[in-house]
Amino acid sequence: MIAADTNFLVYAHRRDSPWFEPAQQALRQLVEGMATWAIPWPCVHEFLAISTHPKIYRPPTELSRALDQVTALLASPSVMVLSETAGYWLVLRRLLSQGQVTGPRVHDARIAALCLSHGVSELWSADRDFTRFPELKTRNPLIR
């Protein structure tokens, strides 16, 4: 199962992103495909925070449009939204300890732990910080 990270979702949403076209094409494969794919809940929250942030995008995405985008993604019949499970804490603790992760990178460890807890085989992301978690295979589908 492939999971989509925040930056990938933002690039596929923002027409002013230089990665808009390839991100939108890749995301369309997931959304319209038959294979189960996933979005971690923290990525949904972060997508909303980033796309509507007036200091990041000028103009920012209107909240109603960002909410509609999330609704459309969650309407995909093959999507699974990842949340914490009973074993999540053990995975998160292990990732934090092994990677000596502190501060803002705890957020990335949370996403990695959710993915690993749910059997994600690959996280699509443009964020290289996930290399701290070698258990989780990451790939940037925007670079060939």
Q: Is residue 144 part of a domain?
A: no
Q: Is residue 58 part of a domain?
A: yes
Structure tokens at 62: 């209107």
Q: Which DSSP state fits 53?
A: -
Q: What is the pLDDT of residues 55-110, one digit of tens each?
A: 999 999 999 999 999 999 999 999 999 999 999 999 999 999 999 999 999 999 99
Q: Domain total for the chain?
A: 1
Q: Who's near 57: CB < 8 A, 6+ residues apart?
A: 14, 16, 50, 51
Give the 3-state secondary structure of residue 55: coil
Q: Is residue 24 part of a domain?
A: yes
Q: What is the pLDDT of residues 47-60, one digit of tens each?
A: 999 999 999 999 99
Q: Is residue 38 part of a domain?
A: yes
Q: Is residue 52 part of a domain?
A: yes
**Confidence class of residue 10 from pLDDT cuts 50, 70 and 90?**
very high
Q: Which range of residues forms the domain containing residue 103?
A: 2-139
User: Could you count the other beta carbons within 10 Å of the beta carbon of residue 130?
Assistant: 21
pLDDT at 128 over 80: yes
Q: Which CATH number does the domain housing residue 134 bear?
A: 3.40.50.1010
Q: Is residue 132 part of a domain?
A: yes
Q: Is residue 55 part of a domain?
A: yes
Q: Is residue 71 part of a domain?
A: yes
Helix axes 20-32, 6-13, angle to 10 degrees: 110
